[in-house]
Amino acid sequence: MSSDNLPGVPQGEATEQAAERVARTGMFGAKGTGDTSGYGRLVVRHAPQLASERPYGSYFDEVADALEPVAGDAIERVVVDRDEITFHIARERLVEAMRHLRDDPALRFELSLGVSGVHYPDETGAELRAVYHLCSITHNRRVRVEVSCPDSDRHIPSTVSVYPTHDWHERETYDFFGIIFDGHPALTRIEMPDDWEGHPQRKDYPLGGIPVEYRGAETPAPDQRRSYA
């Protein structure tokens, strides 16, 4: 389906690839319990995977022209949506691509705004994503880089050698999503206790699941609370 057939999507943006919409019920592992949060009744409909075709518009084509000579075969797809561009890059070439984005005079994305994680449990082979938000102070531009890895092989190269501030950001992404950043100088939990089981921002992580103690009172876990439905 071309972008011309998508209502509300401008020419050249967000071309849909062949894929059917997927509906998923429930969230955070809440299934058949007394969970009173309401998440158990949630229905999430996933749009097909997006990819954009040239021309991208704005300064995006100039960025792509400067990046492709180095990382062209590593760019899996490009998505332009809501006046933002995302380069999906193969994890094996991530560090090389990030260094080029930082150092090439035509790019000069010298500032990283952080690393975040995403979990797509229905996307087999690409369930986990690391997302990098880069800013060029020199050219007043922004881009996003996204890298995926399968849940069965949760490894992505660390980019601390390129952007030192990624140290704590990668630790947080590991803590909450379980992505292992190979080459990180000290990949340990940063917010959850060291002996915490699981990664609480994954979509298959139970909502609650443990009682909460506060000032001598104990609130039962959601699946142990009384349901008023």
Taking residues 185-189, report their average pLDDT. Answer: 96
Asked if the model's pLDDT at residue 157 lies above 70, the reply is yes
Taking residues 14-42, report their average pLDDT. Answer: 50
- Among all chains, which residue has been given the structure tokens 């890298």? 147
Q: Is residue 125 part of a domain?
A: yes
Q: Compute and round to an integer the Cα radius of gyration of the chain.
A: 20
CB contact at 8 A, 227 and 36: yes
Q: Is residue 148 part of a domain?
A: yes
Q: Is residue 215 part of a domain?
A: yes
Report the distance separating Cα 82 and Cα 62, nearest Å: 18
Cα dist from 172 to 48, 58, 188, whole Å: 29, 33, 9
Q: Give the side-chain half-sphere CA count within 13 A for 83.
A: 2
Residue 6 per-residue DSSP state: S
CB contact at 8 A, 91 and 110: no
For residue 208, give its domain range.
Answer: 50-224
The CATH number that applies at residue 173 is: 3.30.460.80
| DSSP labels, 95-128 | HHHHHHHHH-TTT---EEEEEEEEE-TTSTT--E
Q: Is residue 160 part of a domain?
A: yes
Q: Is residue 8 part of a domain?
A: no
pLDDT digits (tens, 9 = 90+) for 128-137: 999 999 999 9
Q: Which pLDDT score is estimated for 18?
A: 37
* 6-20, 133-147, 160-174, 189-203: the lowest-pLDDT one: 6-20
**45: phi then psi, degrees, rounded to nearest 5:** -105, 125
Q: Which amino acid is at 184?
A: H
> Regarding predicted confidence, which is higher, 215 or 11?
215
Q: Is residue 39 part of a domain?
A: no
- Among all chains, which residue has been given the structure tokens 């040239």? 54
> Regarding predicted confidence, which is higher, 101 or 208?
101
Name the band, by pLDDT with cuts 50, 70 and 90, for residue 11: very low
Report percent pLDDT > 90 for the chain.
61
Number of domains in the chain: 1
Q: Which pLDDT score is estimated for 204?
A: 85
Q: Which amino acid is at 88?
A: H
> Regarding predicted confidence, which is higher, 120 or 20?
120
Q: Which amino acid is at 160?
A: V
Name the band, by pLDDT with cuts 50, 70 and 90, for residue 193: confident
Residue 108 per-residue DSSP state: -
Q: How many residues does the chain have?
A: 229
Report percent pLDDT > 70 for the chain.
72
> Regarding predicted confidence, which is higher, 114 or 208?
114
Name the band, by pLDDT with cuts 50, 70 and 90, for residue 3: very low
Q: Is residue 29 part of a domain?
A: no
Q: Is residue 157 part of a domain?
A: yes
Taking residues 133-156, report their average pLDDT. Answer: 97
Asked if the model's pLDDT at residue 12 lies above 90, the reply is no
Q: Which pLDDT score is estimated for 28?
A: 47
